[in-house]
Amino acid sequence: MFNDKTAKFILLAGLVLCVGGALAPNWIVNQFMFGFARALAILGLMVLWRTGLVSFGHAFYFGLGAYAVAILDIELGVTDVFLRLVAGAVVAGTAGFLIGFIMRNYRDIFFAMLNTAISMVLFGIVVKTESLGSTDGFAISMSTILGFAPETKYPLFVIITLIGLTSALLVNFYLKTTVGKLTTAIRDNEIRVEYLGFSVAHAIHLKYTISTILAGGAGALMAMSLGQVDPESMINWTVSGELVFVTILSGPGNVIAPFIGSLVFEVLRTYAFELAPQAWQLIMGATFLTIIFFVPGGIWSLLEKLGGKKNAK
Amino acid sequence: MEAALTILLDGLQFSSYLFIVSAGLTIIFGVMKILNVAHGSFYAWGAYTAAFFIGKFSDMGLPDALGFLIIVAAAIVVGVILGFIIEQGILKYMYERDEVLIVLATFGLFLVLEDIILIAFGTDPYFAYQPMALLDAVEMGGIVRDVYGLTLIGVAALVAVGCWWLLNKTKWGTLLKAVIFDREVGIAMGINVPLVYTLTFIGGAILGGLGGAYIAPTISVAPGLGTEVIVLSFAVVVVGGMGSIAGAAIGSLIIGILRAIAVHELPQVELFVVFAVMAVVLVFRPEGLFAPAKPRKI
């Protein structure tokens, strides 16, 4: 599991980030927190994207994870980081596993649309239900770590980084197993995969469930980093679009890509918003189009070119 | 009885504007196989352009009746300009790419167009009530309705008949159907497919703009307008069957009337019901309720 370049790089980068985070100013830590929290969802979408599936509705799982944290906090007063994270991932993963039975039969635009429909159902429920916070959402109390309440955001940042690192390692490992390698194979030719003796439906179901667990975890982490949840920025279809955007921006080349892509997205958005509050979406949209047209492999492919394929693996 | 009539008329009005917008979406999908997220922006652009000029003309003291002319002109101008630029500038180069990737590209376009609206028109809402005020209200079956809303139903009917006539009674319609059925054979038969694509996209964009322009007098035209409409029209075309005009009509009737019932009887489920129907249709009949199953082409 640790004997390839990617895994070694992830471990090293994790170490550097955890140390660096202690020295870095607050706003940088914040950017990394948001970036890495989102990256978890992107990691899952990347697995789907490699399979040729694009979900235009993963905000459903992202939102489920976030709202699981909020509701646990309000109803039961659960503030522990790990409990919250597990709750978000389990709720979203369970929903994803069940919905996966239907979803595994869908491809292309129908797959994208069914995901959109399901996420908008949740959006419709949350927006119109007072007890779920309606359009205002909820504020979430500060997270505690195994009983002690941290004073800065640094501990939460370390936890998010470590969770991101672990997930990246696991997904990296998964993609190297036989079932994991079925990603591109399914994308290229499903019938051939069936003839090789694998069930395409099962493989897609597994990938879908993985992606929903990761999206739920990402939602939970995002809710904790932001300290609040609301439907407009957690469940609406534009959020799903944003997630897909970052996936394409990152590129499917490597499990490290989602983390770099999310950071770039976070920085891009912050600066675009500061530079031109009226035109930040324009800048994002134009970037997106540029990536689709000229850099189909995303940022990762640029890095590969820069590094002369040295780090590619 | 009066409540039922109100629901029916509300539903019909809502269906009408959904149909006008979705017809454009479904035509573009049917011919070009593009699920156009930027369609929501055509709608928003239509609404903004109409509202802006209706306000301007009214300030200049011109008769309010010109408003109707502005609405049609706004739709055509928005559709032709945006449709032409987007199809020729961007989509043209994407036809060889993956369908899903084209959806993503139109999502990028949607983001860009949303912000150009903000830059061009600012963040303050526009009110263009003049055409609506002009037409007064009538009493029918014990309830009072404004005539403008009722004309919306007429416009939708006109669009429906127009599309049917164009597709089934003209040479253009025959060409379109040939391209829809098989693009390559169409090219082999000497049909100028790139031109058909450009015109189709412009036509669809005009319908999107018309939906926005016509609804503008009844609402406050504010940022974020296109965001809701586009998912609603996705729901409509999915329910009716993607790429079919009749499907769009049936889809918008189902969704419009269901939503009107929800708004009046159980407002909490207003949005839920729309997308629940969409999800259920996708699960049980992904090709849409009334679209015939397609034979598989080799």
Quick check: B105 and A54 CB within 8 A? no
Across all residues in chain A, what is the average pLDDT?
85
* B213-252 residue pLDDT tens: 888 888 888 888 888 889 888 889 888 888 888 888 999 9
The span from the CA of B163 to the CA of A106, in Å, is: 31
Q: Which tokens go with A171?
A: 């997904």
- Indicate the average pLDDT of chain B: 85
Q: What is the largest CA-CA distance in chain A?
A: 57
Amino acid identity at B15: S
Calculate mean pLDDT across residues A247-255: 87
Residue A242 has pLDDT above 60, yes or no: yes
Mean pLDDT value across residues A42-53 = 89
Question: Which residues on A lie below 8 Å from B28 (Cβ)?
Answer: none
- Report the gap between the CA of B62 and the closest CA in chain A (Å): 33
Q: Which of A:51-110 have CB within 8 Å of B?
A: 52, 54, 56, 102, 106, 108-110
Among the ranges given (A6-10, A219-223, B61-65, B233-237), the one the predictor scored with the smallest mean pLDDT: B61-65
Question: What is d(CA A288, CA A35) in angstroms, rounded to the nearest whole number?
Answer: 17
The whole-number average pLDDT for the span A284-311 is: 82
Q: What average pLDDT does range B67-73 have in this prediction?
A: 84
User: Over the stretch B151-179, which tens digit does the pLDDT of each residue have?
Assistant: 888 889 999 999 889 888 888 888 888 88
E-strand spans in chain B? Answer: 126-127, 137-140, 143-146, 220-221
Which residues in chain B have Cβ-Cβ distances shorter than 8 Å to A238? 227
pLDDT at residue number A67: 92
Instruction: Say whether B287 sits in a helix, a strand or coil.
Output: coil
Q: Do A285 and B115 touch (CB under 8 A)?
A: yes
- Whether B184 shows a pLDDT value over 90: the answer reads no
CB A73 within 8 A of CB A227: no
Average pLDDT over residues B273-287: 86
Write the pLDDT tens digit of every residue in A63-82: 999 999 999 888 887 888 88
pTM of the model: 0.88
pLDDT band at A312 (very low <50, low <70, confident <90, very high): very low
Bridge partners (DSSP) of residue B144 are B139
Q: What is the 3-state secondary structure (H, E, C) of chain A?
A: CCCCHHHHHHHHHHHHHHHHHHHCCHHHHHHHHHHHHHHHHHHHHHHHHHCCCCCCCCHHHHHHHHHHHHHHHHHHCCCEHHHHHHHHHHHHHHHHHHHHHHHCCCCHHHHHHHHHHHHHHHHHHHHHCHHHCCCCCEECCCCEECCECCCCCHHHHHHHHHHHHHHHHHHHHHHHCHHHHHHHHHHHCHHHHHHCCCCHHHHHHHHHHHHHHHHHHHHHHHHHHHCEECHHHHCCHHHHHHHHHHHHHHCCCCCCHHHHHHHHHHHHHHHHHHHCCCCHHHHHHHHHHHHHHHCCCHHHHHHHHHCCCCCCC
Q: Do A128 and B100 touch (CB under 8 A)?
A: no
pLDDT at A184: 81
> For the residues A113-131, what does the mean pLDDT come to?
88
Q: Report the b/e string of A264-281 with b at 16+ CB within 10 A.
A: bbbeebeebeeeeeebbb
Phi, psi at residue B297, to the nearest 5°?
Answer: -95, 140
Predicted confidence (pLDDT) per residue in B249-268, tens digit: 999 999 999 988 988 888 88
Quick check: A310 pLDDT over 60? no
- Identity of the residue in B90, B104, B276 whose CB atom sits nearest the CB atom of A248: B104
- The string of pLDDT tens digits covering residues B33-61 is 888 999 999 999 999 998 888 888 878 87
Question: Left, alpha or beta for A197 (phi > 0: left; psi -120 to 50: alpha)?
Answer: left
The pLDDT value given to residue A313 = 42
Chain A residues in contact with B35 (beta carbon < 8 A): 109, 113
Q: What pLDDT is recorded for position A98? A: 93
CA distances to A122, A198, A269, A285 from A282, in Å: 28, 44, 11, 5
Residue range A153-175, pLDDT digits in tens: 788 888 888 888 889 888 888 88
Q: Is A113 in CB contact (< 8 Å) with chain B? A: yes
